[in-house]
Amino acid sequence: MSEIITANIIVLSLIALAAAVVLYFAAQKFKVENNPLAEKIAALLPQANCGACGKAGCKDFAEACVKADAESFAHLYCPAGGSKVMTAVAKELGFSTPEHEPTVAVLHCNGTCENAPDKVEYVGLQSCRLANRAFVGKTGCPNGCLRLGDCVANCPFGAIEMDKKTGLPKVNPDKCTSCGACVRICPRGLYEIRPRGENGVMLYVACSNRQKGAVARKNCKAACIACMKCAKICPEITVENNLSRIPASVSPQTWGAELAAACPTGAIVYTGNKGKENEQA
């Protein structure tokens, strides 16, 4: 009896030993070099791997931070995490906190169901990128929102929702990290990452239609018709390709109310004037 027990113990020990040796060499061979500091920094990041910083993912960004010197660190910024995360990263590495203006994604289209009613019915796969290739869109506007929600489906932070009433996607500024996923996914380039402005008050042209005014108006009541009224009020505003653009440098507080009131189609959105925006939406 004792012989059996001894034999068992010996055999099992030998097996364990052999397995340990194999595991040891395997671990040596497949070892992945990790910088402990980079791991520490990666833990501070949002881990959304959204790619907004221009790196392949959060791990990549962390490694870039570790390698950076004081000067090149100033060019690194995690838009998803914002200045809070960057302060923590800078503290960890002993750098000064880089300055960065908070931003948010805005949609340059106001082709709501009411402003731009459907002319045809789209019944295929609900994807803007696909529909964009197949036809001009339900509204007939070749530059406007297709209202099929690729941005909603691809927002890594769930910050965009389809507004059932308007048919348009709506960015929730509290959740938006301006990672730029919507900018990249939108086949018509309707999104822009814009400074949030003081207290989140913004002023921009919610239209991207480059057709002549009369043609654009046929499809959408809220289209910019390049009437130049806004440009006459504020000299900083440029009108190119039948489309007005309000640069971010135009102060919403100073100009917002006046410009929004002057725009004959309501293409200019001024979020400070809540009444006006609700009326559009």
Partner 1 sequence: MSKLKTFSVGGIHPDKHKITSACPIEDAGIPETVFVPVKQHIGAPAKILVQKGDRVKTGTLIADADGIVSADVHSPVSGEVIKIEEQTGETGYLETMITIKTEGDEWEESIDRTPDLVSDISASPEEIVNIIRSAGIVGMGGAGYPTPVKISVPAGKKIDCIILNGIECEPWLTADDRLMQEKGEQIIIGAKILNKALGIQKAVIAIDENKPQAIETLHQLTRRYVGVNIAVCRTKYPQGAERQLIAAVTGREVPPGCLPVDVGCLVQNVGTVHAIYEAVQKHKPLFERIVTVSGDDLENPGNFRVRIGTPASYLIDKAKPLGTPGKIIFGGPMMGVAATNLAAPVTKTTSGILLLKEDSVNIFEPTACIRCGRCAESCPQGLEPFAIAGFVRRGEYQSAKKIHVLDCMECGCCSYICPAKIPLTDYCKLAKYEIRKKK
Partner 2 sequence: MLKISTAPHCYAPADTRQIMRDVIIALVPAGIAAVILFGLAALITMATAVAGCVFFEYACSRWWLKTAPSTGDLSAVVTGLLLAYNLPCNMPVWMTLTGCFAAVVVAKMAFGGIGKNLFNPALVGRVFLFISFPVQMTSWVRPHLFDFMNVDATTAATTLGILKHADAATSATRLTADLSELPNYWEMFLGYTGGSMGEVSALALLIGFGWLLWRRVVSWHIPVFYLGSFLVLTGITWLYTGSPAAEPLTQLLSGGLLLGALFMATDYTTSPMSRKGKIIFAVGCGVLTFVIRRYSSYPEGVSFAILIMNAFVPLIDRYARPRIFGTGRK
**Whole-angstrom distance, CA of residue 172 vs CA of residue 158:** 9
Beta strand ranges found along 153-200 (DSSP E): 160-162, 169-171, 191-195
Which residues are CB-neighbours of 246 under 8 A, at least 6 positions away? Answer: 203, 204, 205, 230, 234, 236, 237, 259, 268
Provide the token pair at 22: 């194999």
Assess 56 for contact with partner 1 (CB under 8 A).
Answer: no
Give whole-number Cα distances, 227 to 7, 239, 259, in Å. Answer: 96, 9, 12
Q: What is the dihedral of CA 189, 191, 194, 198, to 10 degrees?
A: 160
Helix (H) or strand (E) holding 243, with range, is: strand 243-245
CB 190 within 8 A of CB 145: yes
By CB under 8 A, which span of 12-20, 85-93, 133-141, 247-255 interacts with partner 1? 133-141
- Between residues 19 and 120, which has the closer beta carbon with respect to partner 2? 120
Q: Which does 157 bind (CB under 5 to 8 A by kind): partner 2, partner 1, none?
A: none
- Between residues 40 and 210, which has the closer beta carbon with respect to partner 1? 210
Assess 130 for contact with partner 2 (CB under 8 A).
Answer: yes
DSSP state of 54: S
Q: Which does 261 bind (CB under 5 to 8 A by kind): partner 2, partner 1, none?
A: none
DSSP-based three-state secondary structure for 225: coil
The 10 Å Cβ neighbour count of residue 219 is 22
Q: Which does 188 bind (CB under 5 to 8 A by kind): partner 1, partner 2, none?
A: none
Please list every residue from 90 through 129 that binds partner 1, using CB under 8 A: 119-120, 123-125, 127, 129
- Between residues 82 and 156, which has the closer beta carbon with respect to partner 1? 156
Mask 80-119, x = binds partner 2 (CB under 8 A)? --------------------------------------xx
Assess 15 for contact with partner 2 (CB under 8 A).
Answer: no
Q: Which does 211 bind (CB under 5 to 8 A by kind): partner 1, partner 2, none?
A: partner 1
Mask 19-48, x = binds partner 1 (CB under 8 A)? ------------------------------
Q: Residue 161 corresponds to which amino acid? A: E
Assess 5 for contact with partner 2 (CB under 8 A).
Answer: no
**Whole-angstrom distance, CA of residue 14 vs CA of residue 211:** 81
- Between residues 114 and 258, which has the closer beta carbon with respect to partner 2? 114
Assess 180 for contact with partner 1 (CB under 8 A).
Answer: no
Q: Which does 118 bind (CB under 5 to 8 A by kind): partner 2, partner 1, none?
A: partner 2
Q: How far is the CB of 146 from partner 2 (least distance, A)?
A: 11
**Residue 218 dihedral angles phi and psi, to the nearest 5°:** -60, -35
- Between residues 121 and 240, which has the closer beta carbon with respect to partner 1? 121
Angle between helices 58-67 and 82-93 (to 10 degrees): 40
DSSP H stretches of helix in 234-271: 252-262
Q: How far is the CB of 124 from partner 2 (least distance, A)?
A: 4
Q: Where on the chain is the footprint of partner 2 (CB under 8 A)?
A: 118-125, 130-131, 133-135, 138
